[in-house]
Structure 1
Amino acid sequence: VRVEAFTAALAVVYGSSLLFCFFYLFIAPFEAPVMLALFFMPALLWQKRRIGCLHLALIGAALVWLSWKILGRPAILMLLLPTCQILAIRLTGSVQNRYSRDGSSITVQLSSTQKEQMRKPGQKDSADWWEIIRPEIVAFPERVKDMWTDFTGDAPRRHQGSESVLDLELLKMQNARVMSHALTSIKKRDACFASDVFLKRVERLFWKVQNAWYDQNLETIQALVSDALYEQLKCQVDSQRAMGVRYRHSKMTVYDMRIAQVNCDNSFDVIHVFIRASSADAAIDIKTGETLAANDEGRKFSEYWTLIRRPSAKTLQKPGLIEGSCPNCGAPIVIGQATVCAVCNSFIRSGFYDWVLAKITQACEWEYKEPGLIPDWHSMKSVDADFTLQQIEDRTGVIFWMMRLAERSQSIAPMQRFSTEAFCDLYQSTIVERGYNYMENVALASVSLKGFKIGKHWDSMFVLVIWSGVPTMLDKNNKVIEARRTSQVMRQIYILGRRHGVKTDQKNTLSSAHCPGCGGPLGSAFAVSCSYCNAVLNEGSNAWILERIAVENDKDYLEALARKTACESELEEDNETRSARDVITIMAQILLADGRSIPAEMQLLNKIAQCYDMSETQVNAIIQSLKAGLVYIPAPADNRESWNLLMAAARMALADDEISPTEERELILLAQHLGYSASDVVRAVKAEEKRRFAEQREEQQRIAREKMHAEAMEKAAERDSDQEKDDEDEDQ
């Protein structure tokens, strides 16, 4: 009742302000526009976060004083301010695309489809101005909290369009010597491979994927990407269509594209390409064509695109997958032909012939761990020599998106071919108990293999899946229940199993949504057997299937983490990179251990987040999920993992080459929880500074060598030219 009364009171305030402005323009046609403009500009700057609370108060006081002295109307501010805020919200309405990872509402305005989903039987449409201010009213308590925090100066508000202090060297992650060795290894096996030519193909792939996603026509890229990535993009497009929204991009620009990391083993050559780009997006209502929200300025985003191929593959001297042709025989690829070529019957996405886009990772989610560091990795490789991380990431990704489809459709059918019967029965009973709810704006952050449990008859593995989404509830009439759209961060352990002795099929590494036996497409009827070869899909005799979903304090999971690999000491520290999201989550968990959070203590968290293009919404979502008990990260299992975590925090803290006293206190607090002292923090910072200095020196030496080589080539060309002239003179 109190909430309804408060909402009604605010509606009266805004409605009265609009009515006053309407008559004000008629009564004083010259004075009213001037006053509206004067009061509107501070509201616009505040909404854009260009000015703080104190500045807004000072400007407002000055305008009140001027209106009192000149017009004799000191109360006009209170009458005009609500209308000015509505106009400011309308003009600063921003759209959050798939790059932002923000879990709040997609647009300031709801689409006509969303309004229809929320409208109760017999209810009329709400006024347009009410749709504009409703998000502000719902978020009013948080706005008051932000204003107080801003006023006290504990946490300065971040400019909405501010540039991050992104450190490209920090994002590079891989040692230059290690990368050079890996690229040389590829060059020895493939004499035609050239980094610049490879990056040009990646750029063409980038634009092809962007256009397919914005046009909601993903079938054109299905043959270029893994099944997991295709299902991810397809789920996003299906969610947009369900909400009646589509996106339009403009001013999209690629600022930087470079090879960030190269890893080679007996199974795959893997190249991770760092892409820095920007786009000014707009959200369009599919039914009406109305622009719901738009960004005038391009928002920058940073991603890692992971491409893989087999070590035996050679650089094509003809059109390949990116160009729309079969990389083996050259026949054109038709829509729907994603796995097997209809002409030569080759598995076109197997990596035997061309590079395939395996995944797209946000910069803040980027992490890498040498497979040899995973407990029982070598034990699994001994029983299945073709086992690869890429196949597991693809398989788990497909299962994750099938789970989201099952939630949305309120049916276990999409999961039946990917999980055990016991899991399906348990999940179906859970749906009945908790009612119908699902997640919107789902963002899959990362999928990482953590360990194994190998038995005599059945093998299991533990995969950490980090994702976020906005909970959505439906009532008994299948109408969306209006509530504040707050993002939740989830960390779940997917436990997958299969029969002991089953081998990985190299041809189907990135085709987890297809039959593991014949590679044929699985029908939409969600049958548990393949319609082409009749292979049973949910008994673990062909591929990994989902046994259950747990959290990170699960007993079996902790036991798997406790088992260590014998050869860890042989691996370099560069072989493990922790994601910024992980570091932020662990640090936030430690800072919240006393049950409260001080804004000043979050300074380092915000600094790390800004370095990796993470928004305030994402950091707040992590903190709220920790407070609600939805997220729990177990303590590091050993000294090596603890030290790597402290080093990762020190590396991120030094992103701008300096550490403030507050950030130093946070590092010391983190170290104490990990069992280290303040002197260890100093040692970690010095080690990071030494590493950065060595990398910078190595990079300078590389640039100097390239310059000397270019000068030598230029001199050689000049000598050849002079020699040719001399020969011509002698001939004459």
Structure 2
Amino acid sequence: MADASDVAISATIIFLIGFAVLGAPVLLLGGVVFLVGRRLGSGWSTTSSPTARLRTPTRQPGEVRRSLAILRTWDTDFSVALLDDFAYALYAEAHTARGTGALDRLAPYLGPSARATLARQGQRPVSAVIVGAMRYTAFDPNANEGNAVRLTIEFESCYTETAGPGTSQSYYAMETWHFIRSRVARSRPPDRIRVWTCPSCGAPLDRIMGSTCTYCQRVVDGGAFDWTVDSIVVNERSARPPILTGTTEEQGTELPTVFDPHVQEALGSLQHKDPTFSQEALFARINMIFHTMQTAWSSLAWDTARPYLTDNLFQTNSYWISAYRAQKLRNITEKARIVHIEIVRLESDRFFDALTVRLHATGLDYTLRDTDGALVGGSRTQERPYTEYWTVVRSAERQGAARGTASCPNCGAPMNITMAALCQHCGVKVNSGEFDWVLSRIEQDEVYGG
């Protein structure tokens, strides 16, 4: 049977923010089960990691996340949603650069200590970088005598390294990244989040010599103009080949729902800004997205889910489709349905409204071997209840009730898109969140911090 680490995928960098189908690929090491996701692409189980069990954070991730809002008092463009995207992108870019020996190219974003830590992991081509979980664990808005802010982010990830022709190895990693940024630095606009240029003037990175941009003649490291990783701690790194068969027990389903203490106030503000906002219509759209994803996954017609998922989320699960195909397996979900939805968090900034719900669902989940139809995981008869936290995003400028039908959110024509998710009728990018709510993030119960 082919190892999923040998799967050739078109996207080198994939960000794992989750996916709600019921299949359960796992990683096995020394008899201990490590989840790649209870459902496909849904993230690592921190409860299964010996390292994770030893951690005792001084502040809960949800509390740290909420405290970031203070940045908007002097940086009106700051967006937690965009910071999420930036951190995911930089993590993948850094490990890819490590594999090609190009870490110095990212000097404006990775300090000397951070680059040295990454370099010690070896220079072998890195592909399929998947972030399974990301947690904000510490934040100091008054660092360096009030001249800077410091932020600590913990990543759980997997990636593949290639040692030679036909020789590759998948790794699980848990890393703690310490960021710093000057208080006078300002946030990037959404269209620049994944653009790696001089953070001062936008010149190409090849114009950076040491820590100085030869175009604008400014020292651009140390967080002077953008977030810079000051140091990295590798808490764990171990070789673990992915296994797509077997059955794992749900974790966290019975945990109490984690509500942001300000969620009702935030909902009231959204309702005031957009009187046409309707929870009923939003839930109908979430149901439509859920059922579209289940059908797309089981039929391997994954492109049909693209209009409702951000590009990152879509590409992540394209990876898992490829992995199952490579191992000649098919994960099937039947009778999948949502039984309850709770709104737990709403974050609004200049660019986006990001609304998180806890989704309670159930359904049949099993995996078949294509060659003979044998059942190799799950059950054809016993339904599997589960819960997850879904985050949907929409432009902060958009108003109106959510659409619960498969139609273009801009022109209303039947959904028919190009490979770039552009409507064939009006030409807009339908999964950008500019016109309606799209799914951007899914987190498991046991890792969701509020």
Q: TM class, shorter-chain normalised? A: 0.3 to 0.5
Q: TM-score if structure 1 supplies the norm length?
A: 0.27
Q: Which structure: greater helix fraction?
A: 1
Q: TM-score if structure 2 supplies the norm length?
A: 0.43
Structure with bigger RCO (C-alpha 8 Å, 6+ apart): 2
Name the larger-Rg structure: 1
